[in-house]
Structure 1
Amino acid sequence: MKSADISVIPEIKGKIDLDGVAKHFNVLSEEIINEFSGSEIMFRGIKTSSGNQTANLKSIEGLTTFVGDEMEEWQSEDDYDKLILSIRKKGIQNRVILIMNPSDDEHFVYKKYIQDTHRIEVIDGVEVQISTHPNVLHIHTSYLDNVENVSETFLAEVADIKRKSEKQAHEAAIAEVGLCTAIEGSDAAWAWKVKYDKIYHKAFQKTKYAYVVIGRWADIAEGVIFTDWEEGDFDESLPYLYGQDYGFSIDPTTLIKVAVDERRKRVYVKEKFYTKTQLKLNGVYNMNSSHIDDPDDLIVGDSAEDRLIADLAELGLNIEECEKGPGSVKAGIADLQDYTIVVSPDSPNIKRELKTYVWSDKKAGIPVDKNNHTIDPIRYAKRRFKKGFSDIDDSIFDLF
């Protein structure tokens, strides 16, 4: 863990020096040893993408305390569970300390320890979810707990974020209730104020000040790409096709049913399957065959797997490659943003990705290349709708 010796270790060494007990400690590049008691603090990186590092950590004997820093970056609940279950030394309290900036409510830490067991604590107008899980001590801090130790520049930046967030919440409330035209002090003015305050408060919970500064767990990630979506039934009266993404290594294989209502500018999507099981050719064929509505249904697959698509077609599937080219991702996103996306209730992974698919560079139109294993197939299918179908009378699409 090369970053530890320039970040965490110097900080701990500073505390040791401050206490005047440096002679009892041997500070190395990846661990600190207390030569008086024999205890050790080890520093290791968590390579969750490959699993190798967590496997190495699990093999370390005698762990009694695990401290996970920047836990918002750790996405694998399975790796976390395997590691935590390895901390089981008898005769001493075993502890797990998770340090993180709250991210979004799809993160496994939220689901595991907060989602169903929490209370609300209001901090500067922000409703913060505090865990009441019986095995958890949840300590939530913000800049307000440390004002005397932060710079004036930082406080000015925070004040600017808060001012913009208040303006955002005010504009959202006015957009819904309108300006008050009632006489001040009247019942009508009071009723307007009650409604305004309720909407303002709700909107304020979704601002940068709430999420980034105070640390409320977000129902969507910051910088999310798709905001115009809702849950609703798939419109089975519309023509449809399927988009597909292929997972190898740690990525999932997915199949998404898609229909487009051009008249109402709505894209209906339904998760047919989302599996992290590593499928070979016959596995993909069998999964597709059992999940499409009709044997002749069209599937549009990721063109990066052109050989797999050709082999699936040889086996009898009606499948073709998606169209890709320079700027196709940016154009596809822009196209989808012109529509309301309607997600079937039984599509948890689509909903999760819509909440967490964010920009890497919004100005350049470049998304972060993750949380897109259902969204990419939707994009492939939506683009295919523009071409029409050789075996379907294209005039049918003029009806929708």
Structure 2
Amino acid sequence: MTTVNLLETVGGGYGDFWRCQKRYRICKGSRGSKKSCTTALWIIYKMMQMPLANTLVTRRYFNTHKDSTFAQLKWAINKWGVKDKWKVTNSPMELTYIPTGQKILFRGFDDADSITSITVETGFLCWVWIEEAFQVTDETAFNKLDMSIRGEMPEGYFKQITMTFNPWSDKTWIKRRFFDTQDENTFAITTTYMQNEFLGDDDRQLFEQMKIRNPRRFQIEGLGDWGISEGLIYENWSIEDFDISKIMHMTDANGNRVYRRLFGLDFGFSHDPAAVIAMLGNRDQQVIYVYDEIYKVGMTNRELADEIKYKGWAGQKIKADCAEPKSIKELKDYGISRVYPCKKGADSLKAGIRRLQDYQLIIHPTCQNTIIELSNYAWDVKDGMITSKPIDDWNHLLDAMRYGSEEMTIKKFSW
């Protein structure tokens, strides 16, 4: 390996994390706290130090590895200056240390069998990295993975599960299990962007602006604090891995579909994301299933139209923010012909919230941004008291949900 200064490469603030050999190494942190980069650097470094160690990298969904953990580990290989010693394959997605044959394997919790039946050709499966662990909502699935990492280790080797995530909500089982109790097998820390000396001045300025403009968001994204559940506007929701096609095609005794497609759109660009939400609603049972979303900052209306077409929604009726008539017209010009303005009145915000509060909201686990917003959208606080006014944050997809759910108030509405 090319001679590299460990402190200069990894930076400070993670000494205890780097040296930890406990069974569970849990790191929640703010955006930009270098938790994922540090973990990737650690895996490459330690595997080259310990020739019998192999690593399993997991996320909630396998198809999210390519642009996250897979890319981060390739970055770490380059950072250490050892690109010539590692073989990278895309199918199957693997990283192999050429001198020994050790492997880094990638799996998703959406294929449970692929996680719990791992075997390695060289050495032992020692380490697991669960990135964006907040997305793993099923503690039972984690327990199955935990139990599969077993067996005696050679002298000097150890088994360890590392979890890295942003703490979007304090309702997660991870808080109860690893942060609320003391356990000699657990190392749990919180890191912030202030521990990342590699951030540019422009990056730090964004956090300083967030501290002023969005103090509640800054507590989570800047300081790594838990999302606070007190005063949440919506508590009538749950996460369920439902079969979208099955719900979509359910019929009544007369053969009529009982769930109707609903789409809502909230425009955004520079700071706020463009947000489109796809739902299935049943007015009689007062249930809304959220099954897909678009959520991205910096999209032009043409790019937004292209994304809507890619999703297959170009021909669907979409209710959009009526405050953006120019954007609505542009979307129509770009081929989204059935986008219409929502209705707004003197009390439309609270009326829309009350409407959604009357429904059971079931969110598919792929809709992570919807889950994050539901976990943090709250009534504003003034002088220490909760008010009846919502905060103007964590509400882009939820505003889109309000617009789209207007269709539920129409006596007759078609598929």
Q: TM-score, normalised by structure 2?
A: 0.44
- Flag the structure with larger Rg: 1
Higher relative contact order (CA 8 A, sep 6+): 2
Which structure dedicates a bigger proportion of its chain to strand? 2
